Amino acid sequence: MGRVIGTQDATPLEFWVLLDPGERVQMDEAVVVETNSPIGPLKLFGIVDVIRAKHQGSTFDSDVVEAERGLPVELSIAAHVKVTRLDPEYYYPPLPGDSVRVVTGEEYAQALFMDKMERKFPLGLSLSRTEVVYGNLDFLNGRKGAHVNISGVSGIATKTTYTTFLLHSLLHSGALTDPANTHAIIFNVKGEDLLFLDKRNKDLTPDDLLAYERMGLPAAPFDSVQFYVPPSEIPGPILPKVGGRRADEVIPYFWTVRRFCRDKLLRYLFTDVGEDASLLSTLIYQVERRLSEAAEAADRRGPGPAVFLRVEKKGRGTDAAVEEPEEELEIRDFSALLRAIEGIATATGQASGTVGAFMRRLYGAEDKLAYLIRDPGDADPQAHTINWRNKQVTVVSLTGLYEIGKSFVVGSVLQQIQQEKEATGSAEPLCFIVVDELNRYAPREGWSPIRDRLLEIAERGRSSGTILIGAQQTASEVERRIIANPAFRVVGRLDAAEAERAEYGFLPPTLRQRATILTSGRMIVAQPDIPTPVPICFPRPAWATRAEEQELPPPNLKLVKTRRSV
């Protein structure tokens, strides 16, 4: 590659290399220099992070023109190397003139400490596509750390695509102790793109197939996946609201009134209440407690979707309201539940203004939620409950829902998963939860019950084997503790202003600048084991990411008898 130069300081942490003529070294290449130190031979491994070219012997900018006329100058191309590892760990600089070479294979693994990883899984390939970059599973499965956070511009950073590749790698690399019972739940917020994970991608190229082979991963779609979609808003039978899949390939989900009350899900209808948060939160918890008691009483009566509430009937006399005896009503749908909630809220003794704001929000959401919290009719509610244990991968589609509906579904499912995982008392098998648009569900400012739920997973989820894979466009708008907890931090293309925020302080200045020009399929990954973030690339997904990418089965060929004419 070249030799350590003597015109720039060489330290145990960084040095410059004069490249040999015609050398094709690129940024992000791993290199090594061997030098003689006071304790004996010493190897310094590093990563090339800057390459610069200049004329030696020139003084003025215009000398570049004079050089063409014979001015005696010499071209100098040099690379800056950031040291990642010293073997042995003795901090002594390389000496001017020491030979530097690019490393591959085992030495590449040494440069990035991948030889020390007991359990590892592919994160992708080096940008030269010649080396596999691994992640340390111990920092993802909760043993030493957990969680992943991915940032990048929407539509360019390929956050969702890389997330599915990461899950594919984890499930098929052999790193997990029990991959067959490991589960992943993905909230699909962008159209129906994730409803084709079980379909092969017809656009795979030979280079993509070679990349999968190099990483030891099958170039195949997910084989254990289920899709839950919202129900149709049309009254009557429970039908799925989906366009890209057949009705028998997906499962419409909904909540019964009894389950809504028993699980205390009212809070997830109040994820954006602004300045009224402190006042409404107390009222929300009071009403939830009363609804939960009603659900428990209904359970003692027997199975069913309804709850029974005693409400105070009021008749109007000539001069004033006349109270009539309480009447027990059977509550089966969301509209009836709202009227019962209004009676409960009024009886709490809260200020009329607080109760009014509380009910205005609920009545305003009635048409947006009535088909999610509903009377099941003849349908079996259990068959329409999101059961994430049935398959390895569960996609919960939020397409077509109003914002309040999306928040309700995300919050309710997160609570269900966390409670069921904690009830097992064991971290194995792992459960990965993929949440996109974290800045919506876990905002930095204000009160949000979903944020509290996500924060609990980020801070305590590793003990129960609940691993959060969160993604957002702008990490600066997400709750700080959720951003600070992940052991793996990944960025795709970043907005230039966003890249300067403190949340990306783990990126050196050169990588911050490069993050603003990354192309699709390129990411920068930081993990605790490797002292510097590493740019990687990953192949095209082997599964379809949209309807037009799916590989269609060959048409059925039928033999047709024809009559020969004589």
How confident is the model over 46-95, as pLDDT tens digits? 999 999 999 988 888 888 888 888 888 888 999 999 999 999 999 999 99
Q: Are 172 and 494 in contact (CB under 8 A)?
A: no
Residue 212 near residue 219, CB atoms below 8 Å: yes
Highest CATH level, class, for 117-245+386-549: alpha beta
- Rounded to the nearest integer, the mean pLDDT of the chain is 90
* SS3 annotation, 28-89: CCEEEEEEEECCEEEEEEEEEEEEEEEEECCCCCCHHHHHHCCCCCEEEEEEEEEEEEEECC
Per-residue confidence (pLDDT) for residue 318, from 0 to 100: 42
Q: Does residue 341 have a pLDDT over 90?
A: yes
pLDDT at residue 59, rounded to an integer: 85
Phi, psi values for residue 447, rounded to 5°: -110, 135
Burial 533-553 (b: 16+ CB within 10 A, else e): bbbbbbbbbbbbbeeebbeee
Note the pTM of the prediction, 2 decimals. Answer: 0.90
**pLDDT confidence of residue 320:** 44
Tokens of residue 205, six digits = 């190229």
Angstrom distance (rounded) from CA 257 to CA 418: 21
CB burial class (10 A; 0-12, 13-18, 19+) of residue 70?
exposed
Domain boundaries, the chain: 2-111, 117-245+386-549, 257-369
- C-alpha 374/C-alpha 360 separation (Å) is 20
**pLDDT tens-digit series, residues 520-549:** 889 999 999 999 999 999 999 999 988 888
pLDDT given for residue 319 in this prediction: 45
- 253-300, pLDDT tens digit by residue? 999 999 999 999 999 998 875 556 667 888 999 999 999 999 999 999
Q: What are phi and psi of 138, to 5 degrees?
A: -65, -20
Exposure class string for 478-487: b at 16+ Cβ within 10 A, else e: bbeebbebbb
Residue 398 structure tokens: 């939020």
Longest Cα–Cα distance of the chain, Å, equals 111
> Euclidean distance between the first and final Cα of the chain, in Å?
80
- Tell me the residue ranges of DSSP E strands in 138-288: 148-151, 183-188, 225-229, 251-252
For the segment 221-225, the average pLDDT, to the nearest whole number, is: 95
Q: Which two tokens stand for residue 76?
A: 């100098």
d(CA 10, CA 33): 12
Q: Report the pLDDT value the prediction gives residue 566, as an integer from 0 to 100.
A: 40
Give the model confidence (pLDDT) of 144-155 as tens digits: 999 999 999 988
- Interval 300-321: pLDDT, tens: 999 999 999 876 554 444 444 4
Q: Torsion over CA of 24, 30, 35 and 40, rounded to 10 degrees?
A: -160
User: Does the pLDDT value for residue 171 go beyond 90?
Assistant: yes
pLDDT at 96: 96
pLDDT confidence of residue 558: 54
Average pLDDT estimate for 441-456: 88
Q: Which candidate, 173, 88, 100, places its Cα nearest to that of 135? A: 173
Looking at the predicted structure, is the pLDDT value of residue 436 above 70? yes
Q: How far is CA 255 from the centre of its chain?
A: 25
Q: Quick count: other Cβ atoms within 10 Å of Cβ 333?
A: 17
- Summarised one tens digit per residue, pLDDT across range 357-411 is 999 999 999 999 999 999 998 899 999 999 999 999 999 999 999 999 999 999 9
The amino acid that residue 57 corresponds to is G
Asked if the peptide bond before residue 88 counts as cis, ω within 30 degrees of 0, the response is: yes
pLDDT at 14: 96
Position 117 confidence tier, pLDDT thresholds 50, 70, 90: very high
- For residue 510, the tally of other CB atoms under 10 A from its CB is 13
Residue with token string 């539509």 = 155
Q: Round to whole Å and give the CA distance between 339 and 324.
A: 17
As beta bridge partners, residue 86 has: 44
